[in-house]
């Protein structure tokens, strides 16, 4: 599939007079190629691929129906289909929109037309939308363009794309990979899924094997709802884990971290004890303690990048492993706000105005994407971006789904010079995509 793209950015004052125009050519990434490279694990489920294609086509309406305006440049490489760490969102647009979201523009249906060999898509950003300095633009999925990277009122998109109904959330018809009573840790070997369950003294690790599509046996069956583990290993821990589901897998050091919390008698300090178990050898490899100011509850923790991340009822905090507070974000959190790593970045879900969002921890505190459900994306060798494994981790039934992340970069266009938009100007983005 060969596609070429070019873009025009037209800045105009309130009277409509053009004050600046940029004409840009862009890199088309491997995002579309990756979408059509269907993961084999979808063969084991109720995935109706025809339904998915019916949503993603025509591509200019859906798979390529959104745009991001970024304040930071993005490395231009075909494999660069995920957002870089520390990105700065300025604006976004997908479908036609007339609401109050401050970053979201609107698709101009009157000026969007088909060409002899492609399509011209036009998005408009009024004076009150997407104000800031723009360094890069990127075409993305319509569902990402609709909700962007901050609080949204329309809720007509989301980070997690279901593959059957193709909505932004999960329901009973979605593509289930495996259902067990063990919370999932990761998929670290082909067709092998690692789960973990704690008790008062330690943790039981189990492995589940799904059939290998390249090596099916005569007796293999497909039943993801009643999978039994083929391996079980018990590891004693020095402290009782304070939560059965609050563990964190760090792909950088292949370690599963468990946590124990102890409050001082005078309620001035909370000690967080962390314990790391190698996810291959199942041996305790690291442990330590960090004292933080007293908190009534600790909902989730992560040890990542030589830092301790702590989610508690009213904030998400970052500490050095020696206990120095480096950063705190005021948020309303709950026990569902578990940390995970996706595309090399730390994230967690949280609730804002009764709606679920996924927060990009490496970005500004206000950078997050709407989702109609909660859960954790899993590290996986069976699935690569923009597909992902999505686990809803509970103390009971745990289901892992195959999903698609909507925030892929289908094109990358680092502008020849930044363009600054404010409330005195409008911006029109004209994107021409052609079969090449």
pLDDT for residue 34: 92
* The overall pTM is greater than 0.75: yes
Average pLDDT over residues 151-180: 76
Place of tokens 């292949």: 254
> DSSP characters for 296-312?
S---EEEEETTEEEEEE
User: At a CB cut-off of 8 Å and minimum separation 6, what does 408 contact?
Assistant: 29, 31, 34, 35, 81, 82, 140, 141, 144, 385, 386
> What mean pLDDT comes out for the span 412-426?
96
Residue 408 has pLDDT above 80, yes or no: yes
Contacts of 327 by beta carbon, 8 Å cutoff, 6+ apart: 317, 318
pLDDT at position 380 over 80: yes
Give the model confidence (pLDDT) of 30-86 as tens digits: 999 999 888 888 776 677 777 777 777 788 888 899 999 999 999 999 999 999 988
| Structure-derived torsion over alpha carbons of residues 68, 49, 347, 243, reported in degrees to the nearest 10 | 160
pLDDT tens-place string over residues 262-274: 999 999 999 999 9
Alpha helices in 264-403 (DSSP H): none
Q: Is residue 309 a contact partner of residue 299, using CB atoms and an 8 Å limit?
A: no
pLDDT bin (cut points 50, 70, 90) of residue 189 is very high
Q: What is the pLDDT of residue 193?
A: 93
Residue 405's beta-bridge partner residues?
160
Pairing of strands 355-360, 3-13: unpaired
pLDDT at 371: 83
Higher per-residue confidence, 194 vs 364: 194
**Nearest C-alpha neighbor of 173 from the set 34, 54, 51, 62:** 51
Report the chain's C-alpha Rg in angstroms.
23
Residue with tokens 């990105």: 87
In order of 224, 285, 346, the CA distances from 360 in angstroms are 31, 28, 7
Contact of 144 with 430, CB cutoff 8 Å: no
Q: Which residues contact 219 (CB under 8 A, 6 or more apart)?
A: none
Please give the pLDDT value at position 92: 97
Residue-averaged pLDDT of the chain? 89
User: Whole-angstrom Cα distance, residue 349 to residue 392?
Assistant: 11
Percentage of the chain modeled with pLDDT above 90:
64
β-bridge partners, 123: 107, 429
**In b/e form, how buried is each residue of 265-303, taking b as 16+ CB within 10 angstroms?**
eeeeebebbbbbbebeebebeebeebebeebeebbbbbb
d(CA 71, CA 69): 7
Q: What is the pLDDT of residues 249-263, one digit of tens each?
A: 999 999 999 999 999
> Where does the pLDDT of residue 223 fall: very low under 50, low under 70, confident under 90, or very high at 90 and above?
low
Q: Would the pLDDT of 291 be above 60?
A: yes
Is a pLDDT exceeding 90 seen at residue 225? no
| Domains of the chain, earliest start first | 3-157+409-435 (no CATH), 176-405 (2.120.10)
């Amino acid at each position: 599939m060969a596609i070429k793209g070019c873009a025009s950015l037209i800045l105009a004052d309130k009277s409509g007079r053009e004050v600046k125009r940029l004409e840009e050519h862009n890199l088309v990434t491997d995002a579309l190629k990756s979408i059509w490279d269907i993961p084999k694990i979808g063969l084991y489920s109720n995935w109706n691929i025809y339904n998915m294609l019916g949503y993603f086509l025509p591509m200019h309406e859906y798979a390529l129906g959104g745009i991001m305006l970024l304040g930071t440049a993005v490395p231009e490489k075909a494999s660069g289909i995920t957002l870089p760490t520390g990105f700065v969102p300025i604006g976004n647009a997908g479908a036609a929109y007339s609401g109050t979201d401050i970053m979201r523009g609107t698709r101009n249906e009157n000026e969007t037309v088909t060409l002899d060999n492609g399509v011209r898509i036009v998005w408009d950003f009024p004076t009150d939308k997407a104000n800031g300095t723009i360094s890069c633009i990127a075409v993305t999925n319509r569902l990402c363009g609709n909700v962007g990277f901050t609080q949204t009122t329309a809720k007509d998109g989301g980070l997690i794309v279901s593959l059957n109904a193709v909505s932004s959330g999960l329901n009973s018809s979605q593509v289930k990979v495996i259902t067990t009573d063990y919370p999932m840790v990761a998929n670290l070997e082909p067709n092998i899924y690692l789960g973990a369950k704690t008790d008062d003294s330690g943790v039981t690790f189990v492995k589940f094997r799904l059939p290998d599509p390249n090596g099916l046996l005569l007796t293999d069956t497909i039943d993801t709802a009643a999978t039994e583990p083929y391996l079980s290993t018990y590891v004693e821990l020095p402290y009782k884990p304070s939560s059965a589901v609050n563990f964190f897998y760090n792909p950088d050091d292949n370690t599963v971290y468990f946590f124990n919390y102890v409050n001082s008698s005078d309620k001035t300090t909370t000690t967080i004890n962390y314990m790391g178990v190698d996810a291959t050898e199942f041996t305790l490899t690291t442990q330590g303690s960090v004292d933080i100011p007293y908190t009534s509850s600790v909902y989730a923790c992560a040890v990542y990048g030589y830092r301790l991340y702590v989610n508690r009822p009213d904030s998400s905090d970052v500490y050095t492993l020696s206990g120095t507070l480096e950063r705190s974000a005021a948020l309303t959190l709950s026990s569902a706000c578990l940390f995970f790593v996706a595309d090399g970045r730390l994230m967690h879900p949280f609730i804002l105005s009764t709606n679920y969002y996924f927060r990009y921890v490496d970005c500004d505190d206000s950078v997050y994407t709407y989702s109609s459900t909660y859960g954790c994306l899993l590290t996986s060798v069976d699935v690569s971006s923009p597909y992902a494994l999505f686990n809803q981790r509970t103390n009971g039934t745990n289901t892992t789904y195959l999903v698609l992340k909507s925030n892929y970069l289908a094109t990358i266009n680092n502008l020849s010079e930044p363009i600054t938009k404010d409330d005195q100007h409008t911006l029109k983005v004209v994107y021409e995509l052609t079969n090449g």
